[in-house]
Structure 1
């Protein structure tokens, strides 16, 4: 598998809360954060593997890239927060650099802006 992008950042919520937000991103009892933020060419991913509370694997966000996977790893961070790492993987050769940049930015924005802001911080 080729790595399209990877990044780790801290989120202001405990690991079990972040894990649940990733496993059920638009849960009716919670503030929806993923579907409202998707672009026209993106879809809500399916959870392909789950290892609560350590991580999960999402299917692709992009129907035109059906074999891509997004590995999401959660762990404790100081102050009760969560350290979240995403790794976007593909079994194919890497796309052009402009496409790689777009895919990285989108996953980064969805997780470290839209998800982060859903926790109020």
Structure 2
């Protein structure tokens, strides 16, 4: 997927997939990935930092600051669509940047792959699937 642009914000990547937990549970897992009693899923690499919650509206929207200190302006937006009551939900992550200087294709591929792994593998498995 090529980087797109929304106003002054460039979309670097986006992916939607179902999560095997209700929207409010997924939202809480994103809001506090190190919540006591939850399964650990956000395992950061040496070149990553814990995200800060920049904005949120439970249980449908949450925005993180960048995981990468070398890309401090990036944000990760999570849009959560409710499924059936008590059932699963759909989760879309979208990586954006205000920077006009876009990352190289190899960096972009790495960032997308890393987010997809964390959200559509690690987070998903933490909810039992």
With the length of structure 1 as denominator, give the TM-score of the two structures.
0.94
Q: Give the corresponding residue for 2:19.
A: 11
Q: If the length of structure 2 is used for normalisation, what is the TM-score?
A: 0.88
Structure 2 SS opposite 1:45: coil
Q: How does 1:1-121 map to 2 (within 5 A)?
A: 1-34=9-42, 37-77=43-83, 80-92=87-99, 93-121=101-129
Q: Matched residues in 2 for 1:28 and 1:102: separation? A: 30
The structure showing larger relative contact order (alpha-carbon pairs under 8 Å, at least 6 residues apart) is 1
Quick one: distance in 2 between partners of 1:2 and 1:94? 8
Unaligned residue ranges in structure 1 (runs of 5+): none
The structure with the largest helix share of the pair is: 1
RMSD of Structure 2 on Structure 1 (CA): 1.1
Give the count of matched residue pairs. Answer: 119
